[in-house]
Structure formats: C-alpha cells, structure tokens
Amino acid sequence: MKILVLSGPNLNLLGTREPHIYGTTTLADIERDVAAVGAELGVTVACKQSNHEGVLIDLIQAAHGDADGIIINAGAYSHTSLAIRDALAAVAIPYAEVHLSNIFAREPERRHTTLAAGARAVLCGFGAQGYTLALRGLVAALRA
C-alpha cells in the first residue's frame, strides 16, 4: 500500500511560521514521523510539498494508479481551490484532509473547506500529530 502525503503553501515554513498557531514542529519532523508510522503499518509513504496550486494538482494527477490513498494539507488552498478539489475527484483516490489548527475556531474565511465533502475524514486542531493520526485512520479504512 502506498500513501501520498501532500503539504501545501507555507507549510515549508513550519517551526518558525506563527508558532503560536502552528507549533514549533517542522515539516521535516512531520515527514519523519509519518514515514516512521508508515513503516510501523507496513505501508510506503511519499511526502511532497509545494507552494504552487498547479504543482499540487500535478502531484495528485500523477498519483492516479500509483497511490492507494492521499493525506492532504492544502493550507490556504483548502478554503479556495476548486481545482484541487476537482483533481482529487478526478483521480478518485481516497483521501484525508489535515489542518494543524482548528480551522473552525479561526477567522470566518478559514471555516469552510472545499475539500471536505469528498474526504474520507477531516482532522484539524491536533497540530503535527494530525498527519500521523490521518495516516493511521486512512490505512485502517483502506484495509477494512
């Protein structure tokens, strides 16, 4: 089983970007933890990050026929990108949406996600652990 983990814009700045909201864990730390949980679960994990919407769409499309599941934190694109939503729908790969902060307790413009309706699950507010929780849950769902 292969899981693609996608992180969107500004997540490369984790650890230093607004640590009072996003914590001090870096994206490299998250990717290391996700890889370790993947190994524990016996699945292959590929982690990618981009600040560019088109690159994220290309990665989603390239996952068709290659990945069994996707974990995506599309960052601010979660609230605006019909194109990412459409790419996820087009490849029909089960996915879980992750947000480090509780988007529903933040500014009004962050309280809606265009990706949630098609997601197997949405995890928000668990910080960096949201990624590993999503991985465990998605793998369990795919194996069921």
Q: Which residue in 77, 95, 99, 131 is the catalytic one?
A: 99
- What is the three-class DSSP state of 46? strand
Tell me if residue 99 is catalytic.
yes
Cβ(27)–Cβ(11) below 8 Å: yes
In angstroms, the CA 6 to CA 18 distance is 20
In angstroms, the CA 7 to CA 26 distance is 12
Per-domain residue ranges for the chain?
2-143
Q: Which residue in 22, 77, 95, 131 is the catalytic one?
A: 22
The predicted-structure confidence for 90-117, as pLDDT tens digits, reads as follows 999 999 999 999 988 887 777 789 999 9
pLDDT of residue 67: 98
CATH H-level, domain 2-143: superfamily: Dehydroquinase, class II (3.40.50.9100)
Q: Give me the mean pLDDT over the 13-35 stretch.
A: 94
Supply the pTM of this predicted model.
0.94
Residue 109 burial (CB count, 10 A): 10
Q: Give me the mean pLDDT over the 34-45 stretch.
A: 98
The predicted-structure confidence for 121-142, as pLDDT tens digits, reads as follows 999 999 999 999 999 999 999 9
Q: Which residues pair with 6 in a beta bridge?
A: 48, 72
